[in-house]
Amino acid sequence: MKSSLLLFSLCFLCLCISLLPSFSTSTILFQGFVWASSEQEGGWWNHLKPLVGEIAASGAEYVWLPPPSNADINGSQGYLPKRLYDLDTSKYGNKEELKSLVAAFKQSGVKAVSDIVINHRMPERFDSNGNSIFEGGTPDSRLDWGVAEICRDDPEFHGTGNPDTGIGWGQVPDIDHTSTRVQQELSDWMNWLKTEVGFSGWRFDMVLGYAPKFTKLYIDNTKPEFSVGELFEKVALGNDNKPLANQDAHRGKLVNWVNEVGSGVLTFDFTTKMILGAAVEGELWRLKDGNGKPPGMIGTKPESAVTLVDNHDTGSQKTYPFPEDKIMLGYVYILTHPGHPSIFYHDYFERQNGIKDNIKSLSAIRKRNGITATSSINILAAQADLYMANIANKIIVKIGPNENLGNLLPSNAQVVANGQDYAVWELK
């Protein structure tokens, strides 16, 4: 989520990175909101509650909810947070509605993940000298910060803290995460979200804004069951405005961040997302790199990858968009391959042509065959119009319009899912 409040095309799919508790299972994440959810009449928490059963039926173990705290009027989606302890004046609903929703998810076997926006924060007001004054949302002084908690390279906000340890946000004060007060009070607030609301994990917004060691600190201090970081950078594009075949540098930044943070974290696999988006437009050869492996995090560290097609972080305003008419092919790929898939609310509930039922079917196939973040993969074909792979010697996946499979399909393969330009077989 970067600076502007322009419309973003919201999330389609994701594969996550995780080492906490045991993500060797087929963990699936469900993004339970869209960019316009804060405008929902009656509140998003109330809107979502009757849909809990359907979300559970998707096969998801975790549901990602938007930032729940009070936010600036110019950022009702929650990504310009102000009074962090104030859950009653969020555009999504009040605290009791949120607690009721999280409890309903838990009863249905789905754990709630809160979006955590801590790179930057909007002041409550400015004093007579123009200094930023923050209000935490409680009667006491918790999170009632001032200029000492703002990075000094934010001079427009009179910051007197240490220099920023990541990239700047712009137009909003960047928080100084080297401050022991910031570290303690943010950790306390996150632990309060666990005990008071019932959240089980975190989605860390804009982790490029502060050093990886601070994400590690907050994970160590709060011990979430699930955590994923949004480390977004554009991939390298060619003259055709499509991702280049070699994205080692882009992939390496994701892997390095995971390694620096350490156990207990995943990251969104933006590398594979971009390559997959280009591949399904008729260049399926892109799904096999020079070493014969899949691209992106899947090829190097699948246990840490949340692979996606589109979400509110990767709309066309930022980089190569996932083609709208190929969304189902993206789900076929991520729900059958190693990593941690994510399902997007818009695709599951608002698209036509039976995509919800298709997603549920693919999730069931994944679980039935024990496909995990570290399952083996053997790419059988990667041509312009045909991609086939054997996953864990349990299933075979075919994407693309080419029906001439030759001897790629063994005699013991039984089709269990099929649609426009795809099929999945189980090996009996």
Q: Which amino acids are annotated catalytic?
A: 205, 230
β-partners of residue 249 are none
Task: Report d(CA 403, CA 422) in Å as an integer.
Answer: 10
Buried-exposed string 368-403: b where 16+ CB fall within 10 A, e elsewhere: ebebbbebebeebbbeebbbbbbbbebbbbbbbebe
Task: Report the half-sphere exposure of 270 (CA within 13 A, side-chain side).
Answer: 25
Looking at the chain, the number of H-run helices and the number of E-run strands are: 11, 16
Closest of 224, 303, 308 to residue 258, by C-alpha: 303
291 burial type by CB count under 10 A (0-12 exposed, 13-18 middle, 19+ buried): exposed
Q: Give me 164's structure tokens.
A: 């920023």
The CA-atom distances, in angstroms, between 356 and each of 69, 167, 302, 349, 405 are 30, 38, 25, 7, 28
Place of tokens 């709060």: 222
Q: Which two tokens stand for residue 419?
A: 């649609």
**Contact call for residues 137 and 193 (beta carbons, < 8 A):** no
From the list 102, 103, 25, 24, the residue with the least C-alpha distance to 59 is 25
Going through 58-163 in order, the beta strands assigned E by DSSP cover: 62-65, 111-116, 125-126, 132-133
Do 222 and 187 meet the contact criterion of CB atoms below 8 Å apart? Answer: yes
Helix, strand or coil for residue 254?
A: helix
SS (H, E, C) 48-90: HHHHHHHHHHCCCCEEEECCCCCECCCCCCCCCECCCCCCCCE
**Phi and psi at residue 329, to the nearest 5°:** -65, -35
